[in-house]
A and B are shown apart, each in its own frame.
Chain A
Amino acid sequence: MAAAPTIAKAKDFVSDQDVRWCPGCGDYSILKNVQKVMPELGVPKQNVVFVSGIGCSSRFPYYMNTYGFHTIHGRAPAFATGIKASRPDLSVWVVTGDGDGLSIGGNHLLHTIRRNLDLQILLFNNRVYGLTKGQYSPTSREGMRTKSTPQGSIDHPIDPIAFALGAGATFVARTVDVDAPHLQEILHRAHAHKGTAFVEILQNCPVYNDNEWLEVEDRKTRVGAALMLHNGEPLVFGPKDARRGISIQDGVPSVVDLAADEDPIAAGVAVHDETHRSPSYAFALASLARPEFPLPTGVFRAVAKSTYESMLQAQVDDAFEQRGPGDLRALLHSGDTWTVEA
């Protein structure tokens, strides 16, 4: 039988499994966009592996007609590490959620990011536990009332972007489940990045935490509520007639109102730099939160650093070159031996 054609279409990435998310779940849109982008990446689908942990989002691999591994709660980055470290030729995608990735799996996420394996990590953030029926998650807002927090959550939430930056991520981005063009663009960027590409996808859970991200999902409110990051351009948001900008002084951001024709840079608005020497700039962006500030979407940081799997492979190649291919007989006879005559 002939090999599968390398030029695939979106439908080639659709598996035969029935998709079992709740109606209206933001995951549908993400799935569709991922399937749309896949053939555009030029990777033969047999070389694509989706790895997930446990949770609503982690059902994702079942719906992709690629290789897929639905693993255990929180550990997907570790499984992906084993796959990528041993097989650098594969395109490995991790799908996780705010509970899976930042609660039970926080440790693995941290260390995988720090090692900078060439993976794409998509963290679907709906700020709630869906599959276990609605408990608060590590990204839930303080005070959120759920079944496990009837008087309101008293946990201080963690911000996924700040977490990834803190772990030394070389690529950090945020996008929105229903913003198809933006989501697709970020997926392309994430794939093109050599190293761990961490992407937070704001995702709506209509069943347990509806409209959590409505302001940035809704096209009408998005203009004022989201700050679209474009490399080399000033941090400007809002409608044309009421533009505003973000200035950052000593790491502290503030909002600057802009007059109709005012030059934002002259007005002190910061210019976005994905490759900024210091991650503190990206941290300042990560601290922008509603309602005081617009929520940034786009690429926060994209810098180059060597990847774990390439360095590991280089060590293997070096050892091979310097010592020749391993010789088992020589190994067993290395060091002191003695012979007992018959």
Chain B
Amino acid sequence: MAQPKKPIEQVERVAIRFAGDSGDGMQLTGTKFTESTALAGNDLSTFPDFPAEIRAPAGSLAGVSGFQIHFASEDIRTPADQPDLLVALNPAALHANIEDLRPGGMVIVNSDAFTGKNLERAGYDGDPLPALEDRFRVVQIPLTALNREAIKDLKLGTRETDRCKNFFALGLMFWLYNRPVESTLRWLEGKFKGKVLEANQRVLKAGLHFGETTELFPVSFSVPKAKIQPGTYRNITGNTALAWGIVAAGVQLGKPVFLGAYPITPASDVLHELARYRHFGVKTFQAEDEIAAASASIGAAFAGQLAVSTTSGPGFILKQEALGLAVMTELPLVIVDIQRAGPSTGMPTKTEQADLLAALYGRNSDSPVPVLAPATPGDCFGTMIEAFHLAVKYMTPVIVLSDGYIANSSEPWLIPDIDTLPRFDVEYRTDPEGFLPYRRDPETLARPWAIPGTPGLEHRIGGLESEVDTGAVSYLPENHGRMVQLRAEKVARIAQDIPPAEVNGADRGELLVIGWGGTHGAITSAVNDARAEGQDVSSLHLRHLNPFPSNLGELLERYKQVLVAELNCGQLWRHLRAEFLVPAESLSKVEGQPFKVSELRERIDSMLGGRK
């Protein structure tokens, strides 16, 4: 990169939102900017927000796709409530996003797109830009024309030419924030050939040079490296971390992995990712439906595999009957529900945490299943190893509740040293001496994992109630009562493998904010900000939702007030009140969007009687 001749101003943190039509390549632009920012050594957090339709009508509000990135020289946990800079490639993108922009923030628009038809489609009567000048710094750039000019001699078609303009914008952003361009150039070389490669390379550089020469930008900015824990990092999304956690579980437990899945947003990426790892002995099976995906996985578990089925809300519900069978036959299985806004089809690409009660209670009869929830994108990795470990140790299905937000958002991830990852020896039963299919380990209450192919252990299992120890079909009243109790007790005993809950903040006090899953970043940020201002508030994030950590009840009693914040209508809140009889309050949000830090702060302030 050429030495910038303009002055560089140093800032501590910046949030940028890229917005355009869903065909404009905003997700790709955001991802490339993120990769470059990660390599620049900043801490970061991203939030892709896009419509479910692959191509909604061009220029319409429904078709707007956005990608927000927050990066800083300090520790950050959220994609930021308000962007400082909005890049809007058309009027609809401006209309859908402008009210989120920080007052006084900068908006860069593609002025070529602000024409009659586009304005109309975006719901504007006339040019909205002049009116915005009072509140924001509006920078108009004829992106379409500049882009065409840069590659006109390549004689690509108009559509192909115009498709490059997001890379012009990306180049400009690289200049404006002094990001390294090399990783994107490398990526282009691997992705395209010939004229298309040249066009994208040229446009990217044209964007950079435009920043350097235009008078629109008197300064550029830099964000110093973050002071974070030493080690080797990579940028990772929740879904990638989750898929790699599954691969790692196979390695660490020394058993082959089988994934049964059916395509569903936002879980399909896990299937795509795992399909690439056959050389790890991973077998993926794209089933005819969600039910078959779960059923095939349970079949594989019976046959001795580390079996997993990944899905989202509507698919999760379809798997519940099969899950009940896994409870009854006590087979190890991991079901991952990457929750999305519902009910029914709901808003497939938007996040929510509303499947908790379905996970805990959504099967017929008393059917206890352990439930885990990763807190951040990177945390999905370790959660999957833990889920498999619990599944095989206790011979039980385990549910992992991820969500659309952590699935698609990304953060820098300190790559774990694989020598320090937990390793578990998993033994199949081989000794026929004294074998009974439901004779339990006295400590874990797990039954033996006796897989087909083992001589002398031939046995039958099924959905009918089994006799204690022998597993023979039994309709005896006392036996059923005993088995229901044993299944519950077994899951309850998992608490012995769960670390005690740890509070962020003070170990007692005025207010405790409890959260679970992908709200971790927003809750922790809000609580830390409040504490920095002297407020008596702490937070507790639950990764284990069934069973709870054994110290949870005792912890709750140490705070005068408890607030449960979650992206549903109070599911954990209800559950905690029922379980511990605490007068907890609920903060719920169901808009398909993650919490803003400010929303949490407001509630904390009001519960503490205002800011100090």
Chain A residues within CB distance 8 Å of chain B: 1, 3-4, 15, 17, 44-49, 51, 54, 61-62, 64-72, 75, 78-83, 85-87, 89-90, 107-108, 110-111, 312, 315-316, 318-320, 322-326, 328-329, 331-333, 335-342
Contact = CB atoms under 8 A, between A and B. Distances in A.
A341 B230 contact: yes
A86 B300 contact: yes
Contacts of B418: 328-329, 332
Given A67-B458, A75-B295, A331-B247, A83 B38 contact: no
28 contacts: A1-B433, A1-B456, A4-B458, A54-B463, A61-B462, A67-B458, A68-B460, A69-B302, A71-B463, A75-B295, A78-B287, A78-B292, A82-B298, A82-B301, A82-B303, A83-B300, A83-B302, A86-B303, A107-B288, A316-B278, A328-B248, A331-B277, A333-B234, A336-B35, A337-B233, A338-B41, A338-B233, A340-B230
Nearest to B297: A82
A79 B289 CA distance: 13
B321 A82 contact: no
A219 B296 CA distance: 41
B452 A340 contact: no
Given A61-B462, A70-B460, A79 B298 contact: yes
A320 B283 CA distance: 12
B295 A78 contact: yes
B39 A338 contact: yes
B402 to A, nearest CB: 19
A67 B453 CA distance: 8
Give the residue among B41, B233, B298, B324 with the most A Cβ atoms within 10 A.
Answer: B298
Given A70-B462, A326-B277, A336-B234, A46 B302 contact: no
B258 to A, nearest CB: 5
A83 B299 contact: yes
Nearest to A15: B460
Contacts of A17: 460, 472-473
A82 B247 contact: no
A67 B452 contact: yes
A79 B295 contact: yes
A338 B305 CA distance: 35
Given A82-B300, A86-B256, A108-B292, A339 B462 contact: no
9 closest residue pairs by CB, A with B? A70-B462, A82-B299, A326-B280, A82-B296, A68-B460, A78-B295, A319-B278, A78-B292, A79-B299
A337 B300 contact: no
A340 B233 contact: yes
B57 interface: no
Given A70-B463, A325-B280, A337-B234, 4 more contacts: A46-B452, A85-B258, A332-B416, A340-B225
B298 A46 contact: no
B303 A83 contact: yes
B526 interface: no
Nearest to A54: B463
Contacts of A336: 35, 38-39, 183, 234-235
Interface in B332-381: none
B260 A82 contact: yes
B299 A326 contact: no
B464 interface: yes
A333 B288 contact: no
A342 B232 CA distance: 11
Interface in B92-125: none
A67 B457 CA distance: 8
A312 B278 CA distance: 9
Given A82-B295, A326-B281, A72 B321 contact: yes
A328 B416 CA distance: 11
B285 interface: yes
Contacts of A332: 234, 244, 415-416, 418
Contacts of A110: 288
Interface in B443-484: 452-464, 472-473
Contacts of A83: 299-300, 302-303, 452
Give the residue among A64, A78, A320 with the most B Cβ atoms within 10 A.
Answer: A78
Nearest to B293: A78
A47 B452 contact: yes
Contacts of A68: 458-462
A87 B39 CA distance: 43
Interface string B481-510: 000000000000000000000000000000
Contact of A316 (B283, B298, B304, B464): B283
B279 to A, nearest CB: 4
Given A87-B303, A328-B251, A4 B277 contact: no
Nearest to A3: B455
Give the residue among B39, B301, B302, B463 with the most A Cβ atoms within 10 A.
Answer: B302
B604 to A, nearest CB: 32
Contacts of B183: 336
B332 to A, nearest CB: 13
A328 B307 CA distance: 19
Given A90-B303, A320-B278, A337-B233, A62 B460 contact: yes
Contacts of A319: 277-279
B260 A47 contact: no
Contact of B234 (A15, A79, A85, A335): A335
B552 interface: no
Contacts of A1: 431-433, 456
B325 interface: yes
Contacts of B287: 78, 81, 111
Contacts of A328: 247-248, 251, 280, 418
B459 A78 contact: no
Contacts of B232: 333, 337-340
B231 A340 contact: yes
A83 B324 CA distance: 19
A49 B460 CA distance: 9
Contacts of A65: 458
Contacts of A71: 295, 298, 325, 462-463
Contact of B456 (A46, A318, A331): A46
B564 interface: no
Contacts of A61: 460, 462
Contact of B296 (A62, A78, A315): A78
A81 B296 contact: yes
A94 B441 CA distance: 31
B460 A86 contact: no
Given A71-B325, A319-B278, A326-B251, A87 B229 contact: no
A281 to B, nearest CB: 28
B322 interface: yes
Contact of A111 (B231, B288, B416): B288
B556 interface: no
Contacts of B457: 46
A31 to B, nearest CB: 14
Nearest to B305: A86
Contacts of B230: 339-342
Nearest to B256: A86
Nearest to B35: A336
A80 to B, nearest CB: 6
A340 B228 contact: yes
Contacts of B235: 336
Contact of B463 (A72, A81, A111, A338): A72
Nearest to B457: A46
